[in-house]
Amino acid sequence: MTDQTQNAFRALADPTRRDILHMLTTQDMTIGQVAGRFDMTRAAVKKHLTVLTDGGLITVETRGRERINRLNPTGLAPVLSWFDIFDHFWDDRLSDLKSAIEKDTQ
């Protein structure tokens, strides 16, 4: 597993960070806007945003004094690729099951 994949899973492991990602699907937000939706300090929110950035799941754009946080949907690609392994696993198993059933019915 690559470092990028590890960082993405680390970012997704926390429910608060998953909530932040969900919020960013509808709009880009500043740290203050994100912090306003949680019962935690701005510093705690900033730490969560840093983990999301390190995981490649969000990008940050500086506009003057503001830092705008934006969902980076391509950051989920390593996670989806990792899960794809299991899709192939189940595809193979289900194909084998189908073959066995068809063999028994003939």
Domains of the chain in start order, with CATH, are: 3-104 (1.10.10.10)
Residue 104 and residue 45: Cα distance in Å, rounded?
58
Q: Is the pLDDT of residue 95 over 90?
A: no
pLDDT single digits (tens) 19-75: 999 999 999 999 999 999 999 999 999 999 999 999 999 999 999 999 999 999 999
Q: Which pLDDT does position 92 carry in this prediction?
A: 75
State the average pLDDT over residues 77-85. 88
- φ/ψ region of 58 (left if φ > 0, alpha if ψ in -120 to 50, else beta) reads beta
Looking at per-residue pLDDT, the higher value among 80 and 85 belongs to 80
